[in-house]
Amino acid sequence: MQDSNYIKIYTGDFLMVQRIVSELEKENIIPVLKDQTDSGLIPIFGTSNAVFQQVFVHKDELDKAVLVVENIISELQN
């Protein structure tokens, strides 16, 4: 995603990313997700490593999207 109009706003586990995506979509922001796994390297019997995803948004929606993520993180810390 380098040299594009999209900016990474979050990297985290599947559940948190899904919550962020849901909240962004409520604000009419359509995020782009990038999975950080190497599917060919995942062991058959599972792994202790977490699967991380990255959330990108269009640079024109960056300020609004960052507020959404900050609000979610703030809610979880309280």
pLDDT at 51 over 90: no
In a domain, 1, yes or no: no
DSSP 7-76: EEEEEEEHHHHHHHHHHHHHTT---EEEE---GGGS-TT--SSPPEEEEEEEGGGHHHHHHHHHHHHHHH
pLDDT of 3 reads 64
Statement: residue 20 has pLDDT above 70: yes
37: in domain: yes
Q: What is the pLDDT of residue 62?
A: 97
Q: What is the mean pLDDT of residues 68-74?
A: 95
Report the CATH number at residue 31. Answer: 3.30.70.1530
Is residue 25 predicted with pLDDT exceeding 50?
yes
Note down the domain range covering 51: 6-77
Does a structural domain hold residue 52? yes
Quote the pTM value.
0.78
